Amino acid sequence: MNWLKPSWQAVLAILLCLVALALGAMSKPEAAALADPAASFDYPYFGIKTPMIGLAVLAGLISMLRISSLAEAVVLFVGAHLVAWMLISGIAGFEGTALAPYFLLLAAAWLLAWRCVAVLSGLRPMAKGVRMALRLIIPAIFGAWILIIWEAVTRGAGIPFILLPPPSAIGARIASSLPVLGADVRQTIFKAVIFGYVVGSGAGFLVAIAADRVPFLRRGLLPIGNMVSALPIIGVAPIMVMWFGFDWPSKAAVVIIMTFFPMLVNTVAGLAASGHMERDLMRTYASGYWPTLLKLRLPAAAPFIFNALKINSTLALIGAIVAEFFGTPVVGMGFRISTEVGRMNIDMVWAEIAVAALAGSVFYGVVALIERAVTFWHPSVRGG
């Protein structure tokens, strides 16, 4: 058996395929057609059912041959995704009629994809570019399969649109309502979030410098700042709406309050991060408070400051969106979410969430990129 290296995922996938084949009909129309051969029913997977199952079995079998890991990964990748694509495109027009073999085949394809990811994460390539690509591909396959299973299950089982629309419908909704989404993003992110984020983080930073200059202030502010970070600050949203009105300034005010304390606490911690030796060295250079701050302690504090900026990027979005639940003009992401939920336009809500997720990830990613550029000397950046 030297030419065979079994893996439990592939074996299980082949078994599932065989069970699916043995159970017969993939969908209710097909079962009806089988029960009554005389009548002509239109049913999904006409003629491609056996090739589809065969493809999954074949991919599983080839993957267990003693071939190179890369070839194995490619075979599994192609097999799993081709089967998934055939499954999903085949069910079109027959939503909600899927029977057990449909889900067994889906599970088999998923197991093949899992095996593919396992093989890929076992690779130890030499080239740096390839390693980088692998670091992206592995989570990408995982994410793609969440979408594939979501799509296949919602359509196969016919889950009501109101409960959970399939990703393809959400995508179509995003494409068809770009102007509305664009206006919401402009209102919530470009007005409230960015302004609040800059002012809140900036104020936190300045107060931290002041606290660093005055030890009395630091000893008093730090415990308070630590305590406030555990409080549900989001609750000030209704008060801010009362003070600053329905438009974006009230949202920006919530964002300012939410981002202030993380920045304060982290910057104060960061300013204490430089070592005694380095500070003594600066003293021997006869460097005063401000040159030491600018040339030694702020660079040393940069990882802490960027940590706060990353935390704040998420908090700012949350603050602005939740503040919109308390009252807005008729535009904005939080407004759209709460009204479309009321009108049961769940696909629009998901579209808004997808946009918010994208905006949040981009925001975070930009801060992380700036961090890599600024703190290039830090071990965590140099090592990766």
**Crossing angle of helices 237-244/298-324, nearest 10°?**
80
Give how many residues touch another protein by CB under 8 A.
62
Q: Is 204 in the site for another protein (CB under 8 A)?
A: no
Q: Which of 34, 132, 227, 369 binds another protein (CB under 8 A)?
A: 227
Spatial separation of the C-alpha atoms in residues 59 and 17, rounded to whole Å: 11
Q: Is 117 in the site for another protein (CB under 8 A)?
A: yes
Q: How far is the CB of 152 from another protein (least distance, A)?
A: 19
Question: 163-184 in b/e burial notation, b at 16+ Cβ within 10 A?
Answer: ebbbbebbeebbeebeeebeeb
The radius of gyration of the chain's CA atoms, rounded to the nearest angstrom, is 28
Q: How far is the CB of 287 from another protein (least distance, A)?
A: 28
Q: Which of 46, 85, 243, 285 binds another protein (CB under 8 A)?
A: 243
Query: Which residue number, 25 or 237, has a Cβ lying nearer to another protein?
Result: 237
Q: Is 202 in the site for another protein (CB under 8 A)?
A: no
Stretch that binds another protein, among 36-44, 57-65, 112-120, 147-155 (CB under 8 A): 112-120
Q: Is 167 in the site for another protein (CB under 8 A)?
A: no
Secondary structure class of 65 (helix, strand, coil): strand
C-alpha to C-alpha distances, 90 to 30, 86, 147, nearest whole angstrom: 13, 6, 17
Query: Which residue number, 168 or 338, has a Cβ lying nearer to another protein?
Result: 338
Q: How far is the CB of 187 from another protein (least distance, A)?
A: 14
Q: Is 121 in the site for another protein (CB under 8 A)?
A: yes
Enumerate the H helices of 28-96 as residue ranges: 28-35, 49-63, 69-90
Query: Which residue number, 220 or 291, has a Cβ lying nearer to another protein?
Result: 220
Spatial separation of the C-alpha atoms in residues 9 and 118, rounded to whole Å: 10
C-alpha to C-alpha distances, 167 to 80, 150, 335, 347, nearest whole angstrom: 19, 7, 22, 9
Structure tokens at 267: 């910057």
Q: How far is the CB of 205 from another protein (least distance, A)?
A: 19
The CB density around residue 76, as the number of other CB atoms within 10 Å, is 28
Show contacts with another protein in window 3-62 (CB under 8 A).
Answer: none
Q: Is 322 in the site for another protein (CB under 8 A)?
A: yes
The site map against another protein for 349-368 (x = CB under 8 A) is xx-xx--xx--xx-xx----
Burial (Cβ within 10 Å: 0-12, 13-18, ≥19) of residue 234: middle
Q: Is 217 in the site for another protein (CB under 8 A)?
A: yes
How long a stretch of residues is the chain?
A: 384
Spatial separation of the C-alpha atoms in residues 272 and 288, rounded to whole Å: 17
Q: How far is the CB of 336 from another protein (least distance, A)?
A: 10
DSSP-derived letter for residue 233 is G
Q: How far is the CB of 168 from another protein (least distance, A)?
A: 19
Q: How far is the CB of 246 from another protein (least distance, A)?
A: 12
Closest CA to 234 of 200, 252, 257: 257
Stretch that binds another protein, among 32-40, 83-91, 234-242, 267-275 (CB under 8 A): 234-242
Q: Which of 261, 317, 347, 351 binds another protein (CB under 8 A)?
A: 317
Q: Is 185 in the site for another protein (CB under 8 A)?
A: no
Any residues with CB less than 8 A from the CB of 334 and at least 6 apart, and which?
A: 188, 320, 321, 322, 323, 324, 325, 328
Q: Which of 35, 132, 341, 366 binds another protein (CB under 8 A)?
A: 341
Show contacts with another protein in window 135-164 (CB under 8 A).
Answer: 135, 138-139, 141-143, 162-164
Q: Looking at the DSSP assignment, which residues form a beta bridge with residue 4?
A: 65
Residues engaged in binding another protein (CB under 8 A): 114, 117-118, 120-122, 135, 138-139, 141-143, 162-164, 216-217, 219-221, 223-224, 227, 229-232, 234-239, 241-243, 313-314, 317-318, 321-322, 325-327, 333-334, 337-338, 341-342, 346, 349-350, 352-353, 356-357, 360-361, 363-364
